Amino acid sequence: MYVIDTSAVFLRKIPENSVTVPEVVDEIIDEESKLYFQISNVRVECSQPEYVLRIKRVAKETGDVHRLSNTDVKVLAKALELKEKGFEVSIVTDDYSIQNVAKVIGVGIESIIQKGISKAFKWVKVCKGCGRKVEGDVCPVCGSEVVLRRVRSEKARRSRSKSKKAKRKGFDDWRDS
Ligand SMILES: [Zn+2]
């Protein structure tokens, strides 16, 4: 059995026998992903408060508590609950903090994308209104809706700004001549 996080939906990598939590469903906002989610027959179940508490306790110990979103905690709580009910369960995720806590609670991990690609891209929550990176579901600055966006990681961004600089240099050269 698999517990999926939101990136499994965006990357079209939902395995059979998948379960998720309502918080993940709330993050699926584009129509194509919604459709993909619907045809994938994922079971949606709420996380139980006792397991949420236990995950938070573990995450505090591992130092992941501030890196985990509310949704991440709920996904982990669902995995812990299924494991204790006797299911063999893995979490489908590329989030390092989820993976870290999953290891501690003895839950398996299925990485979604190959290492090279997961290094180049990561998911962040971004405000639809002002574009800030935010933690919650609503922007604390402008109150707009928050969406999940795939962004270039540090490494990829660095090489990108280098090429930007090169372009600018080209422009300056042109202007000088
Ligand atoms: Zn905002």
Tell how far the Cα of 74 is from the centroid of ligand 1, in angstroms.
24
Of the candidates 87, 57, 89, 61, the one whose C-alpha atom is nearest the C-alpha of residue 75 is: 89
Phi-psi category of residue 86: left, alpha or beta, with phi > 0 → left and psi -120 to 50 → alpha: left
* Amino acid 135: pLDDT: 84
CA 30 to chain centre: 15
Is residue 4 exposed (0-12), middle (13-18) or buried (19+ Cβ within 10 Å)? buried
* Amino acid 167: pLDDT: 45
* Amino acid 125: pLDDT: 84
Residue identified by tokens 């139980």 is 48
pTM of the model: 0.64
Domains of the chain: 2-112 (3.40.50.1010), 122-176 (no CATH)
User: For residues 37 and 171, which has the higher predicted lDDT (pLDDT)?
Assistant: 37
Tell how far the Cα of 27 is from the centroid of ligand 1, in angstroms.
17
Tell how far the Cα of 141 is from the centroid of ligand 1, in angstroms.
5
Handedness of CA 132, 138, 140, 142 (dihedral sign): positive
Helix (H) or strand (E) holding 125: strand 121-127
Handedness of CA 10, 43, 146, 113 (dihedral sign): negative
DSSP alpha helices (H): ranges in 11-93? 22-27, 31-39, 49-62, 70-84
Q: What is the pLDDT of residues 19-51, one digit of tens each?
A: 999 999 999 999 999 999 999 999 999 999 999
- Is pLDDT at 176 greater than 60 in this prediction? no
CA triple 7-94-131, angle to 5 deg:
55
Residue identified by tokens 């993976």 is 99
Tell how far the Cα of 153 is from the centroid of ligand 1, in angstroms.
22
Which pLDDT band, with edges at 50, 70 and 90, does 115 fall under?
very low
* Amino acid 63: pLDDT: 86
- Is pLDDT at 99 greater than 70 in this prediction? yes
The 3-state secondary structure of 137-166, one letter per residue: CECCCCCCEEEEEEEECHHHHHHHHHHHHH
Which pLDDT band, with edges at 50, 70 and 90, does 122 fall under?
low
User: Which of 9-23, 34-48, 59-73, 160-174 has the least mean pLDDT?
Assistant: 160-174
Tell how far the Cα of 66 is from the centroid of ligand 1, in angstroms.
20
Distance CA 123, CA 67 (A): 12
